[in-house]
Amino acid sequence: MTVHHESEPKLYRYSRIVCGVSTHVLCAVFTGFITVLAKPGSSLFSWHPFLMTLGFSFFMTEAVLLFNPYSSPVRKLKHKTKGRLHWILQCLCVCCATAGLCAIVYNKNLNDKPHFTSWHGLVGVITVCVVGLQSLGGLPLLYPKLAKGWSLAKLKRYHATSGLLTFLLGSVSLFLGLCSSWFSDSVSGSVWYLAGFCPVLCALVVMSQVTNAYMARKRMQY
């Protein structure tokens, strides 16, 4: 794989590096922006946008970018070590998402409001369940003894595909959160569009990373 990257045109390689580094920066800036806006601890509700953004925008994005061959901060580590770090970040994502879900459910109970009546709520609760299952699905890759009768190569491909779908669900959930009355009342104009650009760009970069990795493996087979 290293030889393949070195044989690529410099412009292509540099553009990939810029996209990857920009995604690292964007997911951190976006998370920081929502944190400042939500002011976690100021109310029970404030924990919901903070924890969900921390989980889906930061931890989940960084978990995937660990495997980015151009901008991973740990690209020199062994793949097995990257896998363990990936799983740890995914578990942190699950913890944040679960806590964020509990916060909004409890807040709605206190205010006698119905649950999951919006697309944001429905997609959000589905995403929390799916990301939990996705993390469990990664265990056979960490501990191959659990994958009895299964090809590890196929499991990796299935995990990557379902992981991409999970990431896209998380991105959609974040974007729908930006359409909520809380966020729309807090920001307006160009700030809203800049904020909406962050999960969209992160999703595009991750899609490109996963599909390119799969195509690279296909080329190596032939």
How does pLDDT run across 19-28, given as a tens digit for each residue? 999 999 999 9
Whole-prediction pTM value?
0.91
Share of the chain above pLDDT 70, in %: 93
Q: Tell me what pLDDT residue 2 has.
A: 43
- The pLDDT of residue 218 is above 70: no
Which two tokens mark 38?
Answer: 């939500």
pLDDT surpasses 70 at 220: no
Task: Categorize the per-residue pLDDT at 150 as very low, low, confident or very high, splitting at 50, 70 and 90.
Answer: confident
